[in-house]
Every structure is written in C-alpha cells, then in structure tokens.
C-alpha cells in the first residue's frame, strides 16, 4: 500500500488527539471534569488512572506508527505542494499585488447636461455597466481586478441600488473606479471590442456619461479581506 501525505496527516491528527486526552486526564487531578458523576473519590481516581493508562498506551502506539511510516517513506516532501500554494495565493486574491494595467472610471452624466427630455435612467451608471467593464477586463486576461478599494474574487458580486454600488457589504457612490493588472495592450483591446463597453462609450458620447480609460504603469491592489463562503457548493 502506498503511504500518502494524507495518511501521514491522519496519523498526526490522531496522535494530537491522543495527547489532548492525556492532558485532559492530567488536568483533572483526580476530579470529574464534567460533573454529575456518582461514586467516591477513590473510584474517580481509579477510573481516571485507568483512562490515563489506556491513553498513554494509545499515544505510545501512535508514536511508533508515525515513526515507522516516516522511516518507511523517508519523510514527506512538501516542497512542490508549498510552491503550488504560493503560486495560487495571488490568483485567488489572498495577497496584495502590484503591476502594470488599466484603470476605468465610470460616472453619471453631469446635471448641467441640459437633457430634460431624456429618460433619467440613461444619465446614470448602472450595475450592468460596471459588470460589463469587469467582465471585459477578465476576458482580456486580467490577473487581478479591483472595484473602488476592494479586490474581486470568485465569490464577489457587483450590485447597484439606485445609482449607488453595493460591493461586499459596502456602499459606494459614483464615480466608480475599476482597475485591472495585466497585459495593458490586451486589456485595452478587450475594452474596445466588448459590446457592453461599446454601449457605454456610445452613451458617453450622446448623453455625457463618464467613461475614462487609462493605462497605468503600476497599480497596487490589497489582498481580499472578506469572507470566502460557498453556501451551495459542497466537496465530494
């Protein structure tokens, strides 16, 4: 049978559990930790001593098993696993990053535009506008994306309430700033060809919405600080 790191970890966990039970017995000092048991102090001491002896024997056996497994496989080399973990941390948004990229600023049309006969909804930035820019940047190969001061991850959801942006529990008012780190040429091209951003550009030209795109030599983004929850997904 091949000894895997998972089996080694299971053995280590069992060993730690054994130590915990031994420590619990010692900490009791001959008394009942849970309370409510009947019997004399002598009976309690005998039971605790017997339990301590059993756990001590189990701990010794686990120690021997772990030592034997380690000797048999020559130890577990976690170098590759740790290297892969370090490479995935920035992609998952769990560490601060910096690099060249593109910034996009979206803003409502100025009130002085003098377009009284135009539907007011056409003069404000909507949820789909922010999403269109974010999606275009991801498709353009963005390595990291930030909206306002918050890093986006796989569970991030961009929502708008009226003309305010609701992102990961915080509310923001326009102008909305979106930044992406990646190949600048690819990101700009993705913004140029995306149908959603093309519509924003048309609205900006006709109604005066703010749509400003700029390449930036260095963008700094913080690590994602929110909770990572998956209420529906379960491991197999």
Give domain limits for the chain: 5-76, 88-221
For residue range 16-27, what is the model confidence (pLDDT) as tens digits?
444 444 444 444
Average predicted confidence (pLDDT) for the chain: 74
Looking at domain 88-221, its CATH superfamily turns out to be Protein of unknown function DUF881 (3.30.70.1880)
Question: Residue 50: is its pLDDT beyond 50?
Answer: yes
Q: How confident is the model at residue 68 (pLDDT cuts 50, 70, 90)?
A: confident
Distance CA 191, CA 187 (A): 6
Would you give the DSSP letter of residue 172? Answer: E
CA dist 201 and 188 (Å) reads 13
Convert the pLDDT of each residue in 95-136 to its tens digit.
Answer: 788 999 999 999 998 875 556 677 777 788 988 999 999 999
b/e code 6-35 from CB counts within 10 Å (16+ = b):
eebeebeebbeebeebbeebeebeeeeeee
Structure confidence by residue, pLDDT tens digits, 164-175: 888 877 888 899
Helix (H, G, I), strand (E, B) or coil at 92: coil
Exposure b/e, 180-193, CB count within 10 A at least 16 = b: bbbbbeebbebbee
């Amino acid at each position: 049978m091949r000894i895997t790191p998972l089996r080694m970890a299971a053995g280590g966990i069992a060993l730690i559990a054994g130590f915990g039970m031994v420590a619990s017995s010692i900490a009791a000092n001959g008394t009942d930790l849970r309370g409510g048991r009947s019997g004399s102090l002598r009976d309690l001491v005998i039971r605790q001593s017997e339990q301590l002896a059993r756990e001590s024997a189990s701990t010794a056996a686990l120690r021997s098993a772990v030592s034997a497994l380690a000797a048999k496989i020559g130890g577990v080399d976690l170098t590759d696993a740790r290297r892969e973990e370090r490479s995935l941390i920035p992609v998952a948004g769990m560490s601060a990053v910096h690099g060249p990229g593109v910034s996009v600023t979206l803003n409502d049309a100025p009130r002085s535009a003098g377009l009284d006969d135009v539907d007011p909804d056409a003069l404000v930035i909507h949820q789909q506008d922010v999403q269109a820019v974010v999606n275009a940047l991801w498709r353009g190969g963005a390595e990291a994306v930030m909206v306002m001061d918050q890093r986006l991850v796989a569970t991030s959801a961009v929502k708008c309430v009226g003309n305010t942006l609701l992102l990961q529990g915080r509310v923001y008012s326009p102008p909305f700033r979106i930044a992406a780190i990646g190949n600048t040429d690819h990101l700009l091209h993705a913004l140029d060809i995306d149908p959603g951003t093309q519509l924003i550009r048309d609205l900006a030209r006709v109604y005066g919405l703010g749509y400003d795109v700029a390449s930036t030599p260095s963008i700094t983004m913080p690590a994602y600080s929110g909770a990572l929850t998956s209420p529906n997904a379960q491991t197999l």
